[in-house]
Amino acid sequence: MVSKKIFLVFVLPVIFSIVFGSAVMNDILDKPGRELNMWPMSFSEGFSSHKSPIEIIGLAKQYSTTAPVEIQIEIDDASFDCGDLYVTIYSSSNDVITQGGYFEQCFGDGTGTIPINDEFSKIIDSPGSYEIVAEMVSKQLQTISTRGTFTVK
């Protein structure tokens, strides 16, 4: 009698939770464009098994208050061969420090570094931790983005 109560109170809810959780996860992952990424963003930069369609090139982990943050963005997706690029730097409290917009960035073959004939270069004179976000919006209004973090000392 006691073992049936233990089974009903402790074991049966665990079994239902696993079955229900698996069904929900299966339903979510069946939807187009969904994937299970078990690595946090900071770990997946160097250990990813597939290359992201957008990457920040030239971002150092640390800058001085006199050194400019200079980056380029690499796009490896043919559907984003022409579009608008936005680069934004946020402080640790999510305040916008600076933003750059580069319009009609076209490089034809679907792969390349942008901004074309320009560069993103900003000096941040306040020490702290910052996040940089690069977002590319195609002519078809599709969006891809990537982010990175750095510190200023």
Give the largest CA-CA distance in the chain: 79
Q: Where are the alpha helices (DSSP H) in 1-126?
A: 2-6, 12-30, 41-47
| Residue 23: band (very low, low, confident or very high) from pLDDT cuts 50, 70, 90 | confident
Q: Strands 143-152 and 62-63, how do they pair?
A: parallel
Q: What is the DSSP letter of 8?
A: I
Whether residue 44 is predicted with pLDDT greater than 60 in this model: the reply is no
Whether residue 42 is predicted with pLDDT greater than 60 in this model: the reply is no
Distance CA 94, CA 147 (A): 13
| Residue 2: band (very low, low, confident or very high) from pLDDT cuts 50, 70, 90 | low
Structure tokens at 150: 């750095």
Distance CA 52, CA 60 (A): 19
Nearest Cα to Cα of residue 137 among 99, 101, 98, 90: 101
> Looking at 37-46, 77-86, 127-136, which range is the least confident one?
37-46
Q: pLDDT tens across 91-106, in order?
A: 989 899 999 988 888 8
Model-level pTM? 0.62
Distance CA 105, CA 102 (A): 7
Domain boundaries, the chain: 1-36, 41-152
> Looking at 27-31, 118-122, 130-134, 149-153, which range is the least confident one?
27-31
The mean pLDDT value for 3-23 works out to 84
Instruction: Note the CATH architecture for domain 41-152.
Output: Sandwich (2.60)
Whether residue 32 is predicted with pLDDT greater than 80 in this model: the reply is no
Q: pLDDT tens across 109-135, in order?
A: 545 677 777 788 899 999 999 999 999
Distance CA 89, CA 100 (A): 9
Whether residue 49 is predicted with pLDDT greater than 50 in this model: the reply is no
